[in-house]
Structure 1
Amino acid sequence: MRPTIFDSDDLDALRALARRFAADHLAPGCRSREAAGAFDKDLVRRMGSLGLIAPELPEQFGGLGAGSIYSGAIIEEIARADFNVGYVNVLASLNGQILANFANADIKGHWLPRLIAGEVMIAIALTEPRGGSDAANLGLRMERSGGHYVINGEKTSISVADQAAGTVVFARTGRPEDGARGVSAIFVPMDLPGISTTRFTDLGQHAIGRGSIFFDNVKVPADHLLGEEGRGFVQVMQGFDFSRSLIGLQCLGTARQSLDETWAYIGERKAFGKPLGAFQGITHQLADFDTRVEAARLLSFNALWLKDNGLPHVAEAAMAKWWPPLIAYETIHACLLIHGHAAYSTELPFEQRLRDVLGLQIGDGTAHVMKNIIARERAGRAAVAA
């Protein structure tokens, strides 16, 4: 990656480490992980051993105590080689932050070191069949019974549902009319009795996987509650501003790799006796997408910089969630077309990249929802309320 105003010597060194790891260990097996529909656990552990997972988490748990920008730089490089593995980093940073801020000392001490080391993955379960983008309209119930909470219901569209060792679950503890204020968050180990999962057949993101989690009278210790009862949605959802910025960089890392390959290709491929680069219809198109990718990249890093400096960044994070995935999809689509029918087949990686980035125009908040957030932040909640 080219240097930016957000770079430093330490950040550059970590970025270079991530780039070498991605090129040497992730890129060669990207298609095999796609075919297997699962992550290579040994590779994820190796990534953790190098300090490339959730570096922003405290050193006492195995993190680096670094800024959020460090996570963004790593995810860019990982996603250049394998978009799907980049989502391991996104989930670890999102859920690691949630546990670090809201879990009890025992949960932090047991789960965070394993998460940072790449030994476990943690999912986040918010979406429900009837909810979708209306995230606070939850039907999953969580009832207090002595020293436990008992959970019944279904979560759906959950990434790594069948690969996660634990899940941050949002459930209703109050009345339906309480909306978001009746929702609590709890950490659920996935080996508890009464939990089952399914896996969907999706267009892309096969190594990540997406499915439903079913809870049938699942008893979770009450001290696994994250934040306060009835306020979990409001408290824990703040972490999504972080993951939205990371998702933008995950998509852009894949787009940048596609651009770099295509710039090289048009210098080698000839048509009508000339390199493709001699045709402005191609070079201007690539120049346009290169400009947009760089602009979207700086937008995403700006959101992380604001976070690291304790400044408001809700709108900026929403911008980083809706625009970069769209730019990435359009960029990869253009690169695929320039490469012709070879890129339409599985011979080249563009078709997989296109399928993979498309999913993040839907998951973790659609463009419509992100634009609503931006409007609310800019105009004020009262101005945009129905």
Structure 2
Amino acid sequence: MNFEFTEEQQEFRKILSDFSKEELLPNYTKWDREGLTPKHLWKKLGELGVNGLRIPEEYGGSGADCITTGIAAEEIGRGDFNLTYAVMLNALIGEILSKHASDEIKQLWLPQIASGNKIVGIAITEPSAGTDAGGIQSTARLDGDVYVLNGEKSGISVATCGDAFIIFAKTSPDLGNRGISAFLVPADLDGLEVKGYEDMGNIPVGRGSIYMHDVKVPVSNRIGLENNGFYQVMNGFDLSRLLIGLQCIGAAMQSLDETIEHVKIRESFGKPLAKYQAVSFPIVTHYTQLELVKWQAYRGLWLRDQGLKHSRESSSVKWLGPKYSADAIHECLLLNGHYAYTKEMPLEQRLRDVIGLEIGDGTAQANQMVIAKDLIGKEFRTV
């Protein structure tokens, strides 16, 4: 067993760590306050090679392994939690398009995703279909050389700033999960409308709903085989859930680092706060929990790189990563006192942002169901 990162991975981490602290962290709260998506930073991440980590070199990416992609999620998460969507979303979308899309779609979209010139979202969730992704009601009807899409998608990241979306719709409604297909749908097509949300957190991510009214999509924009969309994205979630865990842990570890410096300096009753076990022990507890989940995440990414089964590891990281991170950031907020409850410090925003990913890409309960099915057996799955 070797837990050491390669020299190249260590150098990549150093580059991203410096960039994150010097360029991202000072402006992390700015985009939340102004309600803006910093598209120029998505392009900057493209220059650093972050957007194209899971995109083949022939399409402008680097074809990096999953562990390297995890390093990016962790380090960018330290500086700007919301910009880590450039890692997580693009890794998921890069894999889906490079493995299943037509050459035309790959050549047109993958280089632009890798460069950061285009932002692409993934649209599965609907008002009545979240955890039960197979319960979507949106439809795609074949009409000559186009598919006609109708329906509504909800809770979609980058809805208000995306240039295109991978939209999942039923092409054979009578087949259930086996009747879902995926399509690359440009945001400027006639009949497609977007409405943004006023969210608690993740403001710069631009979440919202997508409405489709007879949206005509060329057959060439279908991704993969007809009626095969559900299964190609389910495999992708095993990657995105691991990256989400590291994204959250990066934000929590940064919060712990800042808080450790605070309690070493701030005095109470004549000595630094860090001298009190009631202060130091909670910090130690949260650090330990985060470290455990972090290495479970990297183990899951290693398994994926080896082509081995990793759904159980992925779901455990997605379940506990956001939970432990939110708990740690909350503790940090309390230890920093009432100023941390203001918007003068980044802690309150990190807490709001991380809580959002206790929901996205599978709730705690959904991930526990995946683990139970794998651990106990499909026939004993609880509902």
TM-score by length of 2: 0.98
CA deviation map 1:56-97 (0-9, x unaligned): 321111212221111110111111011011112111111111
Partners of 1:6 and 1:324 in 2: how far apart?
22
Q: 1:146 aligns with which of 144, 148, 151?
A: 144
Q: 1:169-248, aligned counterparts within 5 Å? A: 169-176=167-174, 178-248=175-245
User: Secondary structure of the residue that 2:279 maps to in structure 1?
Assistant: helix
Aligned position for 2:154: 156
Aligned position for 1:82: 80
Partners of 2:38 and 2:129 in 1: how far apart?
32
Partners of 1:93 and 1:325 in 2: how far apart?
19
Partners of 1:55 and 1:101 in 2: how far apart?
14
How far residue 235 of structure 1 moved from its aligned partner, in angstroms, is: 2.2
Contact preservation (8 Å) 1:93, 1:243: yes
Count matched residues.
382
Please tell me the residue identity of whatever aligns with 2:69. S
Q: 1:339 aligns with which of 329, 336, 341?
A: 336
Partners of 1:175 and 1:284 in 2: how far apart?
54
Partners of 1:147 and 1:37 in 2: how far apart?
40
Please tell me the residue identity of whatever aligns with 2:145. G
Partners of 1:158 and 1:234 in 2: how far apart?
19
Partners of 1:187 and 1:53 in 2: how far apart?
18
User: Secondary structure of the residue that 1:170 maps to in structure 2?
Assistant: strand
Aligned position for 2:61: 63
Partners of 1:205 and 1:102 in 2: how far apart?
30
Contact preservation (8 Å) 1:227, 1:236: no
User: Secondary structure of the residue that 1:48 maps to in structure 2?
Assistant: helix
CA deviation map 1:233-274 (0-9, x unaligned): 112321111000000000000000001111111110000000
User: Secondary structure of the residue that 2:212 maps to in structure 1?
Assistant: strand
**Unpaired segments of 5 or more residues in structure 1?**
none
How far residue 385 of structure 1 moved from its aligned partner, in angstroms, is: 6.2
CA deviation map 1:83-136 (0-9, x unaligned): 011112111111111100110001101111110111111101001111121110
Q: Does 1:117 align with 2:110?
A: no
Q: Does 1:372 align with 2:332?
A: no
User: Secondary structure of the residue that 2:135 maps to in structure 1?
Assistant: coil
Contact preservation (8 Å) 2:52, 2:60: no
CA deviation map 1:290-331 (0-9, x unaligned): 101111110111110100011100111111111110000000
CA deviation map 1:196-243 (0-9, x unaligned): 100111110100121100011000001111121112111232111100
Contact preservation (8 Å) 1:45, 1:118: yes
Aligned position for 1:20: 18
Please tell me the residue identity of whatever aligns with 1:342. Y
TM-score by length of 1: 0.97
Partners of 1:214 and 1:338 in 2: how far apart?
44
Matched residues, percent identical?
A: 41
Partners of 1:137 and 1:121 in 2: how far apart?
27
Aligned position for 1:53: 51
Contact preservation (8 Å) 1:56, 1:70: no
User: Secondary structure of the residue that 2:53 maps to in structure 1?
Assistant: coil
Aligned position for 2:349: 352
**Unpaired segments of 5 or more residues in structure 2?**
none
User: Secondary structure of the residue that 1:198 maps to in structure 2?
Assistant: strand
Contact preservation (8 Å) 2:312, 2:374: yes
Q: 1:276 aligns with which of 270, 273, 279?
A: 273
Aligned position for 1:129: 127
Partners of 2:201 and 2:10 in 1: how far apart?
31
Contact preservation (8 Å) 1:25, 1:43: no
